Structure 1
């Protein structure tokens, strides 16, 4: 299963339990004990910056993300964008920021995975993230398929479980800015007006939610969730 596929999961740095933040390089990572390579660290930072910029464009995302995940993210964006346009209390610029931050966080986690910076303890956290995302996905499907079944408190709690699990994984490895990106994503997804707009009975977004549910079911069928 690919890390790119549950939260975009794909893309592994030395033993995770030997990794530490490097203030001198703006949050880069070095193995503890002074054996790190500055060139390696700078190279990793350059990869993150380049991929982050690349992921900020629609064309870039199409190269980095498989078609099924692209469709899922596109439909999620449509739901967020429609809500932002209809609800005065929701920032109209947030949907694009949320989409970019999902991609950027996934790329950074993928780089940690590809460069072998995630150790056994982190693998346990990844399992927890997958469980949380799967539970959230199943709830979304249920609320779509069963009339009057929407439980905002349950879905919010499920999304908050995802937020906590991702924070637990990235906190030892990434900067505060990445943690802020995570919060921006989940602050929007748990916003009461967003959830009401998408899941209320007779919602104008029913058709788009149906397309998202189709994408989620495909991800579940192939083991990406």
Structure 2
């Protein structure tokens, strides 16, 4: 989409701090900013909410109790929500990744789940940095570059979907790599090495030739799922979120 481009940008809540989503398991911690210890890396099954039927929303809501306990004294913990458009977009992205992985012997079948979780984890961390005013003036350029790169990638994905035989892998990879570089530059001064590794893992999957070919090939069996994802992108464009 800039498939991921937009996705990652929207998730990190650069454009709207109130749409930051919650992390399921928050490993790869933020550097402490309030004198507290690291955030929990696991959530007890007993405290996890019942399934909502949406994998993305479940990942976001599963950490609600412990996150709110940790940040009970601040507004940050009480406003970590996942909106319907983002939940749908994430679910459709997961479906694309999962089906592509099942069809390719060169893609680890466990990677789609990891990618989804890593997007959620990175989102919450960047969102908390934003809410705790840990992003300074020097980060403004990186945020704007992320915005431009995500928008550009989204338009590329829309074009490839709508125009037959228009897919060019090198062009899409270049756009995704632009997004990777912008996100990498933003998080490097603020997050741990583990979080930076999560960023690399997300984009490594998104630019994998087998994944992109499975999604954008002219005879792709995943075109209906891609169409659903494109619908989510269009909704974001219509509402001005992208």
- TM-score after normalising by structure 2: 0.75
| Alignment match, 2:21 | none
List, as ranges, runs of 4+ consecutive aligned residues in structure 1 with deviation greater than 3 Å: 48-51, 53-58
Q: Is residue 59 from structure 1 mapped to residue 76 from structure 2 by the alignment?
A: no
> Please, which of 63, 87, 91 is the counterpart of residue 70 of structure 1?
87
Q: Deviation string for 1:131-165 (max 9, x for gaps)?
A: 10111100000000000000100000000000000
What secondary structure sits across from 2:36 in the alignment?
Answer: helix
Q: Which is greater in Rg?
A: 1
Q: Is residue 41 from structure 1 mapped to residue 44 from structure 2 by the alignment?
A: no
> Please, which of 204, 210, 218 is the counterpart of residue 201 of structure 1?
218
2: CA distance, partners of 1:164 / 1:150: 23
Tell whether the 8 Å contact from 2:57 to 2:87 is kept in structure 1 after alignment: no
1:221 deviation in Å?
1.5
Unmatched runs of 5 consecutive residues or more in structure 2 = 1-6, 19-28, 50-54, 65-80
1: CA distance, partners of 2:86 / 2:227: 15
| Alignment match, 2:201 | 184
What secondary structure sits across from 1:41 in the alignment?
Answer: coil
> Please, which of 168, 179, 188 is the counterpart of residue 162 of structure 1?
179
What secondary structure sits across from 1:174 in the alignment?
Answer: coil
CA distance 1:128–1:202, change in 2 (3 Å): same
1:95 deviation in Å?
0.2
Q: Deviation string for 1:95-149 (max 9, x for gaps)?
A: 0000000010000000000000011111221110011011110000000000000
Q: Is residue 119 from structure 1 mapped to residue 136 from structure 2 by the alignment?
A: yes
| Alignment match, 1:20 | none
Q: Aligned-pair RMSD on alpha carbons?
A: 2.5
What secondary structure sits across from 2:35 in the alignment?
Answer: helix
What secondary structure sits across from 1:42 in the alignment?
Answer: coil
1:60 deviation in Å?
4.4
- TM-score after normalising by structure 1: 0.80
Tell whether the 8 Å contact from 2:100 to 2:214 is kept in structure 1 after alignment: yes
Number of residue pairs aligned between Structure 1 and Structure 2: 197
2: CA distance, partners of 1:177 / 1:130: 24
Unmatched runs of 5 consecutive residues or more in structure 1 = 12-25, 31-39
1:57 deviation in Å?
7.7
| Alignment match, 2:127 | 110
| Alignment match, 1:6 | 10
Deviates more, 1:99-108 or 1:117-126: 117-126
> Please, which of 28, 31, 40 is the counterpart of residue 31 of structure 2?
28
